[in-house]
């Protein structure tokens, strides 16, 4: 009797284990060929389900599939570890690169100690062990730290191949939805056509001439071999389109597979993805982050295809978050790692690169290096505020210093002098600290003004003190994503309406980078130089005035301890002699900031993964770019409570949870405890929390955690 791998529901058709393993081997070999390890991928595919030959597993699948519900299952039917034991026997010199991937292809990659314990098992006597005709050449890697990424990439090839072959048999109609998109060569034509029309319709202004000059530099530099590149363009210089222009031409020139754009903030991602969809079509751009709401697309088939593409990033253009990108590269879970092989031989764009978390900078920069050298990726860093990522990076003492990248090639020549030619703002630093009332009074002197502060509470305190005349808006993460998006749209519409004489906005940093708004006057609470310049980028953005004004102020209270204080102190330590917009000022600022850092490797990745005894599971749990001391809560906004009732009635579904994510606010755990004690929060399903009371969600400022009803209930 042939060994069964899968039984399809409905018609009870059988896929044999031989068919499945051969199918996975072909796919995994194809994936791993991108980085010169096709034979390794093939062998992983041939071995991964050998354990299904066990009598106990065959009894289990026959019973559970319904082929014969009366079959008795005798013994342990776990199967994943068996392939690793066979790899050790058949490939005694090479198996160490395969053991973890084989053993963890369902469960996830193991820590070394736990894996070694499982490897002490014996090959079950009802599993055949045959030699495999394969020449597995151990890769010559430049650095020991490359090994953990090589193992994870091989794991990715196996996991994605396993999922895809299984899907092709079990859900053939769904499988047919994959891979339907245009080539990068076709997308290059679409972009050229779009830019040609854009230039034809654009007025002949200095800003538009500079944007064209930036694009010409990108075209010229796109024919370089894969490596590290930077695109340093001040706000308003057309950086987003220019970077994609370079990336597509560079990818076509070097036969690279896709473009992946990693961005720190979801507000910029949404804006960037919208621009790219307009150029390339929705069928070619994948927006992948937690706040994507697929229900807004009218085409259900396209929605399904996009959802499938989030699983493995098999798409020509992907726009995602830094968190999604890097945490996947350090994850041990199959669902996260499945996409990784599609990063190989791709163009990677890191937008607003100055926001990379400094206390994870060592493993991040090391990963950049490995992705380029070992996996053939080409990497572009884009920002108006370029950090220092090459050469020696110094911390507070020699023990926390490390070598950055060897060379980063700047696309814009120094003689272009863009920081001077695009200078449209005067920055003024206020030496005298003020209270909330005084700042609100200063802001109110201007009719069109934006104020950016460091915390949600500061935003609320200043906003509530402003006169409610004309259009007065508040923006912070106390508002759910749908509310934020709607408010940003209101800001843009108000600025475009010449009839509006008064437009005042108070916001946290969520509006600081990449959001296309243009105010004549901006106030920025004291912060690092990169944040000050990003705020200034929202001022006189289109150059309608001779000079816009950005005021940097301090409140009569200390900044929050930690990174916010470090960045501000780094700026203050520079003195006052710099041209704040110059590349020299930015380099000096980052040198100052780095000298205040106690660690560039907060998660201690070096000791967890840069050695033979790798701890994949521990490293994954520690590599968290955001210290999450918050809980996501669904708030009462628009029709969110109707969706909550659907959730209670019908249970969890992917589309419903995605839609509900637009109505969530992350509540600090201290505030959550306070709201819990007052009985305000309801847990409608395990881990799904709701605040139904409309009194706790204000139409202007979002979630209110100091509602007077709350105070009264606490007193009672």
Mean pLDDT along residues 490-499:
87
| pLDDT of 301 | 59
CA distances from 79 to 58, 60, 75, 480 (A): 11, 11, 12, 44
Distance of CA 278 to the CA centre of its chain: 21
Evaluate if residue 302 carries a pLDDT over 70.
Answer: no
Task: Indicate the fold that domain 184-291+308-418 takes in CATH.
Answer: Rossmann fold (3.40.50)
Q: Note the pTM of the prediction, 2 decimals.
A: 0.88
Q: Checking DSSP bridges between strand 409-410 and strand 228-232, what pairing results, if any?
A: parallel
List, for residues 554-584, the tens digit of each pLDDT value: 999 988 888 889 999 999 999 888 888 888 8
- Pairwise pLDDT comparison (298 vs 614), residue with the higher score: 614
Radius of gyration of the chain (CA): 27
| pLDDT of 424 | 86
Tokens of 336: 């996260």
Q: How many CB atoms lie within 10 A of CB 79?
A: 23
- Residue 154 contacts residue 101 (beta carbons within 8 Å): yes
Q: Checking DSSP bridges between strand 259-263 and strand 317-321, what pairing results, if any?
A: parallel
| pLDDT of 714 | 34
| pLDDT of 300 | 57
| pLDDT of 381 | 96
User: Exposure string (b/e) for 467-483, b if CB count within 10 Å is 16 or more?
Assistant: eeeebbbbbbbbbbbbb
List, for residues 332-385, the tens digit of each pLDDT value: 999 999 999 999 999 999 998 988 999 999 999 999 999 999 999 999 999 888
Domain ranges of the chain: 4-175, 184-291+308-418, 424-578, 630-715
Residues written for the chain: 716
DSSP codes of every residue in 36-88: T-HHHHHHHHHHTTGGGGSHHHHHHHHHHHTS-TTPPP-S----HHHHHHHHH
- pLDDT band for 150, please (50, 70, 90 cuts): very high
For the domain spanning 424-578, the CATH number is: 3.40.50.300
DSSP codes of every residue in 187-202: HHHHHHHHHHHHHHHS
Evaluate if residue 295 carries a pLDDT over 60.
Answer: no
Residues of the chain with pLDDT > 70: what percent? Answer: 95
Q: How many CB atoms lie within 10 A of CB 426?
A: 14
- Dihedral class, residue 575 (left if φ above 0, else alpha if ψ from -120 to 50, else beta): left
Q: How many CB atoms lie within 10 A of CB 303?
A: 17
Strand partners, 452: 507, 524
- Residue 659 contacts residue 691 (beta carbons within 8 Å): no
Distance of CA 454 to the CA centre of its chain: 22
- Residue 681 contacts residue 674 (beta carbons within 8 Å): no
DSSP codes of every residue in 439-476: HHHHHTT-SEEEEE-SSHHHHHHHHHHS---SEEEEE-
The widest CA-to-CA distance across the chain, in whole angstroms, is 85
Mean pLDDT along residues 149-168:
96
- Residue 247 contacts residue 254 (beta carbons within 8 Å): no
Domains 184-291+308-418 and 424-578 share a fold: yes
List, for residues 634-674, the tens digit of each pLDDT value: 999 999 999 999 998 888 887 788 788 889 998 888 888 88
As a 3-state breakdown, the chain gives helix, strand, coil percent values, each rounded to 5, of 50, 15, 35
């Amino acid at each position: 009797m042939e060994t069964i791998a899968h039984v399809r529901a409905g018609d009870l058709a059988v896929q044999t284990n031989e068919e499945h393993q051969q199918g996975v081997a072909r796919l995994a070999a194809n994936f791993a060929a991108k980085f010169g390890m096709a034979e390794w991928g093939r062998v992983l595919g041939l071995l991964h389900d050998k354990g299904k030959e066990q009598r106990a597993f065959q009894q289990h699948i026959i019973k559970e599939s319904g082929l014969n519900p009366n079959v008795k299952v005798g013994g342990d039917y776990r199967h994943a570890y068996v392939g690793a034991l066979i790899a050790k026997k058949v490939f005694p010199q090479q198996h160490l690169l395969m053991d973890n991937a084989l053993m963890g292809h369902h469960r996830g990659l193991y820590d070394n100690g736990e894996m070694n314990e499982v490897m002490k098992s014996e090959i079950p006597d009802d599993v055949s062990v045959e030699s495999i005709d394969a020449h597995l050449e151990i890769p010559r890697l430049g650095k020991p730290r490359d090994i953990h990424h090589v193992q994870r990439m091989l794991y990715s090839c196996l996991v994605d191949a396993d999922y895809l072959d299984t899907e092709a048999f079990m859900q053939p109609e769904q499988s047919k939805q994959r891979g339907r998109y245009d080539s990068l060569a076709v997308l290059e034509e679409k972009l050229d056509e779009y830019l040609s029309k854009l230039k034809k319709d654009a007025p002949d202004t200095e800003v538009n001439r500079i944007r064209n000059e930036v694009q010409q530099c990108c075209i010229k530099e796109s024919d370089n071999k894969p490596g590290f590149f930077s695109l340093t363009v001040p706000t308003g210089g057309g950086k987003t389109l220019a970077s994609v222009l370079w990336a597509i031409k560079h990818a076509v020139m070097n036969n690279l597979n896709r473009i992946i754009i990693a961005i720190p903030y979801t507000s910029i991602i949404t804006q960037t993805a919208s621009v790219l969809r307009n150029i390339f079509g929705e069928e070619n751009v994948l927006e992948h982050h937690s706040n994507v709401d697929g229900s807004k697309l009218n085409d259900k088939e396209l929605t399904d295809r996009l959802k499938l593409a989030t699983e493995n990033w098999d798409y020509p253009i992907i726009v995602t978050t830094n968190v999604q990108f890097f945490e996947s590269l350090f994850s041990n879970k199959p669902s996260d790692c499945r996409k990784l092989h599609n990063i190989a031989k791709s163009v990677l764009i890191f937008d607003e690169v100055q926001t990379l978390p400094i206390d994870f900078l060592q493993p991040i920069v090391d990963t950049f290096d490995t992705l380029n050298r070992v996996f053939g990726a080409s990497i572009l860093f884009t920002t108006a505020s370029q950090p220092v990522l090459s050469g020696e990076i110094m911390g507070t003492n020699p023990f926390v210093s490390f070598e950055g990248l060897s060379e980063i090639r700047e696309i814009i020549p120094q003689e272009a002098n863009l920081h001077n030619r695009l200078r449209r703002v005067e920055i003024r630093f206020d030496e005298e600290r003020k209270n909330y009332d005084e700042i609100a009074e200063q802001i109110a002197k201007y009719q069109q003004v934006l104020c950016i502060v460091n915390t949600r509470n500061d935003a609320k305190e200043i906003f509530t003190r402003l006169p409610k005349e004309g259009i007065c808006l508040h923006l912070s993460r106390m508002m759910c994503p749908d509310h934020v998006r709607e408010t940003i749209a209101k800001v843009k519409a108000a600025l475009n309406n010449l009839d509006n004489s008064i437009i005042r906005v108070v916001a946290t940093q969520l509006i600081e980078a990449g959001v296309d708004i243009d105010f004549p006057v901006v106030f920025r609470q004291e912060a690092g130089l990169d944040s000050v310049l990003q705020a200034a980028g929202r001022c006189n953005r289109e150059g309608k005035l001779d000079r816009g004004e950005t005021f940097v102020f301090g409140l009569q209270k200390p900044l929050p301890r930690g990174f916010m204080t470090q960045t501000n102190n780094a700026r203050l330590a520079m003195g006052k002699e710099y041209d704040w917009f110059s590349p020299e000022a930015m380099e000096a600022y980052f040198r100052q900031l780095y000298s205040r850092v106690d660690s560039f490797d907060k998660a201690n990745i070096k000791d967890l993964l840069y050695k033979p005894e790798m701890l994949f599971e521990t490293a994954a749990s520690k590599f968290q770019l955001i210290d999450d001391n918050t809980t996501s809560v669904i708030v009462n906004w628009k029709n969110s409570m109707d969706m909550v009732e659907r959730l209670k009635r019908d249970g969890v579904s992917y589309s419903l949870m995605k839609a509900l994510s637009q109505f969530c606010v992350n509540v600090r755990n201290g505030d959550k405890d306070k709201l819990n004690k007052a009985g305000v929060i309801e847990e409608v399903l395990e881990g799904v929390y709701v605040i139904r009371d409309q009194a706790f969600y204000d139409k202007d400022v979002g979630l209110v955690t100091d509602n007077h009803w709350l105070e009264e209930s606490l007193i009672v």
